[in-house]
Amino acid sequence: MNRTADVEAFHAAVDAAANRVAAAHGSRLRCGRGCSSCCVDGITVFAVEAERIRAGAPELLAEGEPGPEGTCAFLDADGACRVYALRPYVCRTQGLPLRWVEEDEADPGTVVEQRDICPLNDETGPPLTELPPDRCWTLGPWEERLRALQEAFDGPLARVPLRSLFARSRR
Ligand code: SF4
């Protein structure tokens, strides 16, 4: 399997898992076309994900105009993603309730759970803290799988800014 196919399979697995989490929340999640507050400037990706965009949108990258600075270069004037089917992992889970564990700064050696969600998706439904873990997107394992994909093919874990994929950003 080539590198792009591996990334496509990874993204498909992310979508399937993310859709299962989203389906458990019904109308609580208001994400949709035109809601783009999470499409911020400065997002970077591993080279394997950049390559999927390069392979799938060569004309846009060669001739297209990156969006204005301040928002993601791939956002169009209507607030839609111009590479939606090719978008990276981080964009596929935005809007879901997120949970992760980290060391408690106040008590080194102790692990604590943290949670977060877009404020627009926190206006209805049970409090974020009361959601069962399987109704949240758990950060960590998926990032490890993506990191392993990158390491298998490129070794270095250098990040690629999304904006830099546009030829016009490099002139
Ligand atoms: S790649 Fe698409 S979905 Fe991701 S931040 Fe940019 S515009 Fe938004």
Residue nearest atom 1 in ligand 1 by C-alpha distance: 87
CB atoms within 10 A of CB 119: 8
CB atoms within 10 A of CB 141: 9
Domain assignments of the chain as residue spans, ordered by start: 3-169
pLDDT of residue 156: 80
Which one-letter DSSP state was computed for residue 19?
H
For residue range 62-84, list pLDDT tens digits in order.
999 999 999 999 999 999 999 99
What's the token pair of residue 137? 């997107």
> What is the Cα–Cα distance from 171 to 168, expressed in whole angstroms?
5
Task: Give 25 Cα–ligand 1 centroid separation in angstroms.
Answer: 22
Q: Is 72 in the pocket of ligand 1 (CB under 6 A)?
A: yes
Residue nearest atom 5 in ligand 1 by C-alpha distance: 39
Locate the DSSP E strands across 94-153. 98-103, 111-116, 137-138
For residue range 122-131, list pLDDT tens digits in order.
998 899 999 9
Which one-letter DSSP state was computed for residue 77?
T
For residue range 138-158, list pLDDT tens digits in order.
999 999 999 999 999 867 888
Token pair 């060391």 is found at 103
